[in-house]
Amino acid sequence: MSERSGLGRVVRSSVFLAGLVIVLFWVGCALFGRWLVPIDPYRDDLLNTLAAPSAAHWFGTDQLGRDVFARVVVGAGPILSVAPAATLLATVAGTALGLLTGYVGGWLDTVLGRLIEVLLALPLIVVSLLVLVALGPSTITVIAVIAIIFTPLIARTVRAAVLAERGLDYVAAAELRGESAANIMFVEILPNVLPPILVETTVRLGYAIFTVASLSFLGFGIQPPSADWGLAISENYGMIVGGYWWTVSFAAAATASLVVGVNLVADGIQAALE
Amino acid sequence: MPHLARQIGQRLGLSLLTLLLLSIVVFAGAQVLPGNVGRAILGPLADPAAVAAINHELGADQPLVLRYLGWIGKFLLGDMGQSYVFRSPVAPFVGAALLNSLKLAAVAFVIVVPLSIGAGVYAATRVGRWQDRTISIAGLSLTVVPEFVSAIALILLFGVWLRWLPISAAIRPGTDWLEQLRRLIMPALPLVIVLFGYIARMARAGTVAALEADYTRTAVLKGLPQRTVIFRHVLRNALLPTITVVASQIGYMIGGLVVVETLFRYQGIGSLILMAARGKDLPMLEAGILVVGALFVLATLAADMLQAGLDPRQRAR
């Protein structure tokens, strides 16, 4: 019956597969888009600004005359590097912290608990704004801020999973054998808490994309002249009243499809592992 | 009920500690700001003596601990400091913005709470069928769409093509309340879209659990009509956890307000925080964030108390 559990069930979930197709499509655009688009996404064409969609420009042009289709395809890149990078950093740090607080406990556990409550008392966007104002917006800062905010949140999930494991016989056996604490945490316990970590990571990735997109829209995320979707919407939304819907709609639809895709993947994994 | 009193005392203590840490985090975060305050106000070409003078005048040349104590002490007395940009007290700005945001948040909650609880309970009575799956997957997908994305779709649909609703929520003096309300519908909708999935999911989970509980089976076997079973036995138990979710979303809501208020040019606390962030208006930024955080801590506390008050098990234990 091993097929019915774990990976087999994940792969068979139609929700998961639908999400995966969407995510892989955008990953493909992010990796190879630069060579697939017919027009340079960064080239201005000031004689041809705000042109409606046509055979020459499938999604029209923006206020600088740049080709919107090319920019939407290439625009998958920035967000799909910043958000996963931040999530990965937070997962590594959060896992280590969660193992420590769950297994060793003590004052570190108490401090982390308080810290999480404070972090949760502030909306993600507002905390990020504060730090980004302090340090100045840049891609590295955005990654660092999101990673730092996510670390205790992931640590909390890992900690809960570790607490459930540490009372089990195999941990007691390892302790009796005289294994070091580091060994017990990373060799004995870690493999057994990987499923909840995987779920937490995919869920966090969704939030990271949401946050990066919102920060870029607010002007504190990915900076010009990037083709990032949130940035494109921020640069052009003032003009939709004038009827130039193509400058923002395609970037908006792309953002929506990506976050929904990641979320379907996360939900598929979660449903299969529970 | 000495136990309940102790529980409330503990919860209050935790909230106060959270607020204290929050204020330190906000203050520390804001002090990391590059360069010095006087330089930020006077610009890069100003005379160093003038910069030093303005730093002294603002107290920006004192040790951090003293500055923190002075800041938080005045803050507690209602003096939130002077805006660097407007050169006038911060408090009136924060107060007016907060009032506007509360109006917007109220409109969003009035729309989303009945809608999502209704959808969640309905899904729970159709568990596993297509109605349940549609509500669950739609809610889940809508929840993760950033507000500025759904706002763009709404603006294009209702503002530009159908022309049903105004696309700016800016309130001019003298606008009557009905017009204000009309202008708030579109900014409220992106918040509704994000919140719908969360609340509906909790309402559904709570209802499913309550439907499977022994007391529900007893009520059904007793021969009570389905209506009575749902309203008297199921909903009362199912909606308890939902209250906490609704309150916990107030924190999210404020983050969402930053985006939505900016997009719809509405003068609330969210756009105030963003304006302060863009203008590096430290006192305004600190005050905005601290007020928002305090509001959230209070809302969570209120939700915990409400839940304890509604749940006889928590009262007795």
For position A144, which CATH number holds? 1.10.3720.10
The mean pLDDT value for B11-28 works out to 82
Question: Does residue A24 belong to any structural domain of this protein?
Answer: no
Distance from CA of B103 to the nearest CA of A (A): 19
Does A89 score more than 90 pLDDT?
Answer: yes
Average pLDDT, chain B: 83
Q: Percent of chain B, pLDDT > 70?
A: 93
Average pLDDT, chain A: 87
Does A4 score more than 60 pLDDT?
Answer: no
Question: Does residue A217 belong to any structural domain of this protein?
Answer: yes
Classify domain B91-315 by CATH number: 1.10.3720.10
Does A13 score more than 80 pLDDT?
Answer: no
Q: What is the pLDDT of residue B317?
A: 45
- Note whether A123 contacts B254, CB cutoff 8 Å: yes
Q: Percent of chain A, pLDDT > 70?
A: 93
Confidence band, pLDDT 50/70/90 cuts, at residue A2: very low
Confidence band, pLDDT 50/70/90 cuts, at residue B1: low
Reported as a single tens digit per residue, the pLDDT across B96-146 is 999 999 999 999 999 998 999 999 989 988 888 899 988 988 888 888 899
Residue A38's CB is within 10 A of a number of other CB atoms, namely 10
Question: Does residue A130 belong to any structural domain of this protein?
Answer: yes
Which residue is listed with tokens 């990271």?
A: A208
Does A143 score more than 70 pLDDT?
Answer: yes
Domain that holds residue A130: 81-226
The mean pLDDT value for B243-255 works out to 75
Q: What is the pLDDT of residue B249?
A: 77
* DSSP string for B134-192: HHHHHHHHHHTS-HHHHHHHHIIIIIIIS--S-S--PPPTT--HHHHHHHHHHHHHHHH
Q: What is the pLDDT of residue A134?
A: 79
Does B233 score more than 90 pLDDT?
Answer: no
Q: What is the pLDDT of residue A115?
A: 75
| SS3 per-residue string spanning chain A | CHHHCCHHHHHHCHHHHHHHHHHHHHHHHHHHHHHHCCCCCCCCCCCCCCCCCCCCCCCCECCCCCEHHHHHHHCHHHHHHHHHHHHHHHHHHHHHHHHHHHHHCCHHHHHHHHHHHHHHCCCHHHHHHHHHHHHCCCHHHHHHHHHHHHHHHHHHHHHHHHHHHHCCHHHHHHHHCCCCHHHHHHHHHHHHHHHHHHHHHHHHHHHHHHHHHHHHHHCCCCCCCCCCHHHHHHHHHHHHHHCCCHHHHHHHHHHHHHHHHHHHHHHHHHHHHC
Domain ranges of chain B: 2-76, 91-315
Q: What is the pLDDT of residue B32?
A: 55
- Between A139-148, A243-252, B82-91, the lowest mean confidence (pLDDT) is in B82-91
* Residues of chain B neighbouring A115 (CB-CB closer than 8 A): 21
B297: closest chain A residue by CA: A121
* Residues of chain B neighbouring A267 (CB-CB closer than 8 A): 140
Q: What is the pLDDT of residue B253?
A: 80
More reliable by pLDDT, A162 or B34: A162
Range picked from A205-209, B2-6, B157-161, B173-177 for highest mean pLDDT = A205-209
Does A1 score more than 50 pLDDT?
Answer: no
Q: What is the pLDDT of residue A3?
A: 44
* Residues of chain A neighbouring B17 (CB-CB closer than 8 A): 114
Q: What is the pLDDT of residue B313?
A: 66
Confidence band, pLDDT 50/70/90 cuts, at residue B272: very high
Reported as a single tens digit per residue, the pLDDT across B49-82 is 888 887 777 777 777 788 888 888 888 888 888 8
Q: What is the pLDDT of residue B35?
A: 53
d(CA A119, CA A123): 8
d(CA A29, CA A81): 12
Q: What is the pLDDT of residue A85?
A: 97
Counting one residue from A and one from B, how many pairs have CB atoms under 8 Å apart? Answer: 142
- Note whether A264 contacts B141, CB cutoff 8 Å: yes
How large is the ipTM? 0.83
* Residues of chain A neighbouring B253 (CB-CB closer than 8 A): 123
Whole-Å CA distances, B55 to A9, B49, B70, B171: 63, 10, 15, 36
Q: What is the pLDDT of residue B47?
A: 81
Reported as a single tens digit per residue, the pLDDT across A91-115 is 999 999 999 988 988 888 888 777 7
d(CA A16, CA A11): 7
d(CA A60, CA A246): 6
Q: Which stretches of chain B are assigned E, i.e. beta strand?
A: none
3-state secondary structure of B203: helix
The mean pLDDT value for A212-228 works out to 90
Number of domains in chain A: 1
The mean pLDDT value for B194-209 works out to 88
More reliable by pLDDT, A120 or B262: B262
Q: What is the pLDDT of residue A6?
A: 60
To test the contact with chain A by mutation, choose from B10, B141, B161 the residue with the greatest count of A C-beta atoms within 10 A, namely: B141
- Note whether A218 contacts B143, CB cutoff 8 Å: no
Is B52 in the A-facing interface, judged by CB distances under 8 Å? Answer: no
